[in-house]
Structure 1
Amino acid sequence: MHHFGDISGFFSDFLRFLENQVTIIFLSNLNVTPVTHLSREIAKTIFEEHVTFPPPADRIEFTKLDFLTGSYFIENKINISLEVSAKNQELYLTVPKMYGVLYKFKLTPVSHDSTKTTFITETIYEQLTFYHSASGEITQLEYTDYYGDIHKACKVESLGHT
């Protein structure tokens, strides 16, 4: 049995496994928390199924923020875009979540090489990988959400450095 609920920014998920006499209740007062995903991961742990954990991420120094900022439209999604902006030498992602509500997350750089740069978000675990040419032009963005779904996006507009 299960039930998901949300009201006024509060989210909950209730899972009950009658035969195993197990009940999981997950409550959050932060409406961006992926409560349904997390409650199912807890159930996997209880029933000794494989659970995936985000890899540990060590922050690296990365200062070339200007060429990453801009609007990125997600392929195969109508009117859904990611906004990448910079402020005070920090990079931020603004992304629509449940019901289209926009959230802004600070990005932490975790890897960089000649073809790609990867960031993770603070607060919830999501990942952005910017693929770029040798000249620094963004060729594609890969956005991995907290469910592990990968979305490909193309840059359409430069916001410039603020």
Structure 2
Amino acid sequence: MATSKTAWNAYIEYATTVTDDVHDQLFDQLAEYAGAPTTAPNGNFAVEITLPAPTVELAIPAALEIVGAALRAAHGSAPVAVIEVMSRAERNRRTHAPDIPELTGVPGVAKILNISGAGARKRIASPEFQRHVPVVTVIDDRPVFIADQVKRYAAQRSAGRPRTSTEQ
């Protein structure tokens, strides 16, 4: 068992609603843990804290006790609906990860592949491109692609024009 302490982020959602005063009280009571009381999208009361613990297995009950005690003092007890605990490093990674990947259309494909717009349209129509870069959606009759897939394709593709269907 590790003896050093890691910083853990805990998100705890309770099956209850609380007043703004309770939010304020818990904000103050949990300041030591960078407590952030909030309202979950479903209307439940939720809190996120950061706490030190040697392992995630020890962080879970500690987080429940810390937040639970503050909630009981300000509002009374409430059942836990959700708990999510992860290392601070993982939380930071998730926070900085884009929710939606960068998308691109024909002009972006042309730029990534360093070819003309007409060349990009021909390349997009090629079976080779379609095998490696699927269309995500079509907007106003224009295909949309995930830019990273186009970049990976560009790094792997052979130079020159795409083969026509008769050359396959």
Name the TM tier (shorter chain): under 0.3
Bigger relative contact order, structure 1 or 2 (CA pairs below 8 A, ≥6 apart): 2
Higher helix share: 2
Q: Which has the larger radius of gyration?
A: 2
Q: TM-score, normalised by structure 2?
A: 0.24
